[in-house]
Structure formats: structure tokens, C-alpha cells
Amino acid sequence: MSPQVSAEANVKTADGRTLRYRVHGATDGYPVFLLHGSPGSRLGPQPRGGVLYRLGVRLISYDRPGYGGSDRHPGRSIADCAADVACIADDLGLGTFAVVGRSGGGPHALACAALLGGRVTRAGVLVSLAPHEAGDDLDWYAGMNEANVREFSDARAEEQKLVESLRLRADRTRRNPASLLEALRGQISDADRRVVADLAIERLLLEAYAEAFRSGPYGWIDDTLAVRRPWGFALSDVWQRVLLWHGAEDNVVPASHTRWLAERIPNADLRVESGSAHFGAMVTLPSILSWLVQDDQPQLSAG
């Protein structure tokens, strides 16, 4: 295998928006799109280049619209992510690829699988939310911490209140990225506090938050609104193999959301890990990447 790659680029979408993306890992590795959490950016926590090289992964991450170096896409839905990922894949000359989404990136990974058909070979979905219209089969807020209950409730009942709240929090985080992490520490489980106490993970989170809000608060605002609205695709259209992972102690997005998804995605493998929680998704990511690029993947085709 050839040496490692680490590069960034911009690409223009069909409607004229700029998307900023990053590629790193093994130059000839299997391409995997990593869809970041909310809030987040292309610089979000991910394995070091040497780890990706050993796994045989070329990891592609990008700023969702409104974050970092990507232009805002007002009113975007979860489904709109698929066209953006396809645009970046085309720019890189990729025919097929895998996707993995963490937290707020989870629904976006499912959108890619549902809407891009055979271009997506496998999908990993970590600590994801379920659609809010899940109905009586899921108590959407049960087990969720107070901050997230308030945030997602505002998205439904008082959209302007949510916008102003997130605008203030984003501005505070832009000036001092550590302020968001400190606020999280007061809400997350003990399992998560142990993960974010690691200095390397803390540094990666702060770097991701700083980049996320470099151009304003709208990535976070639009992410939150999109999750609460209809996602724009059917889970039954996700026919690829999907690995669903969740930490059992998660109180940011309770594991009941992933269990609900597992019952409705045709070819899903559910893993709920005891003693782990929301930020445990960062720890387990290398093993998920290994699964995504197993030897039974099809050969790359030209873009």
C-alpha cells in the first residue's frame, strides 16, 4: 500500500455552494465518509493517520453546510446530505464508498445509504437519534439529559427561541471552545466523563468545536431543526449491511433510539455496549472502520 495522505479541498455543489472536505489515511485505502456529530466539523475526533493506514482506510470528512468552511444551506433536510456526499465523491473520482456517522451524523449516514443506492457499500451508525415521528413505539425523551430535552423541545415548539439560544451558545463557544465542553461535563454520564478526561480526546473536541463555529452558528441550528423535521427518506430503503452501535449508559442520546432503528432497518446488526456511553463512539470508531472495509467489500469502480 502506498504512503499516507492528508489533504483538504473545496468543491462546488450543483446549486453553487462550497463544501470543505478533508482526506487522510491510506492513499490507496478503501474510502469511508465520516459524518461528524452536532455540533462538529471535518476536524472532529478521528483515528490518527497511522491507525487509518494500518486499517486500510482513506477517511473523508467534511463540514456539513453552515459549519467550518462549508456554505450554509438554509432549510436543509437530513436527506440533502446525500447529494453533498455524492458531490465530494465525484470530485475524488469515487464510484463506491462506505459511510459512518456519529451522533448527529448518524441520520445523515442512513440518508446516504438510502438515497445513493449501490454507491454506498456499508454503513456504520453510532449513538444516533431516531426520527422524532417515531410515535408511540419510542419515548423519544426518556433517559435524555435535561439540556438535550430542552434543545429538541425548543426546535419543535419555539423555533425562534431555539435559534437565539444556539446562536448565543455558538458565539460563546467560538470565543472559548472549552466552554461547550465544560457545559457538557455537567450533563453527561460518568462513562462519558472518563472519555473526555483524556487529554488527546479533549484537544480533538476543542479543535472541532473551534472550527465548527468559525463562520457562525447556523450549522448547529440547521442540524437541530433538520433532526426534528421529517428526514426525507424511508429506513426501509436502507438495504446495505448496517452496523448500529450505542453505549448503554448514554444520556445524550439514549440507546433506545438505536434499538428502535435496528427494528426498522432490514439488514442491521445491533451492538449495545455496557459500561460505555455517547463519547464511547470515538473509542470504538477504529473497530467500526475495520468492519466497514472487510475483505468482502466490492472492488472500487470508477467515478
pLDDT, mean of residues 138-165: 80
In a domain, 303, yes or no: no
Between CA 129 and CA 106, with CA 204 as vertex, the angle to 5 degrees is: 15
pLDDT, mean of residues 274-282: 96
pLDDT tens per residue across span 28-81: 999 999 999 999 999 988 999 999 999 999 999 999 999 999 999 999 999 999
CATH number of the domain that residue 111 is part of: 3.40.50.1820
In a domain, 263, yes or no: yes
- The pLDDT, as a whole number, for residue 2 is 54
pLDDT, mean of residues 167-192: 89
In a domain, 122, yes or no: yes
In a domain, 58, yes or no: yes
Place of cell 427494528: 263
In a domain, 163, yes or no: yes
State the total domains in the chain: 1
**Whole-number average pLDDT of the chain:** 91
- Evaluate if residue 298 carries a pLDDT over 50: no
- The pLDDT, as a whole number, for residue 3 is 82
- The pLDDT, as a whole number, for residue 303 is 31
- Domain span at residue 139 reads 4-292
* Band of pLDDT at residue 295, cut at 50, 70 and 90: low
- Evaluate if residue 157 carries a pLDDT over 90: no
- Comparing 9-18, 76-85, 168-177, the range with the smallest average pLDDT is 168-177
Global pTM value: 0.93
In a domain, 302, yes or no: no
- Evaluate if residue 297 carries a pLDDT over 70: no
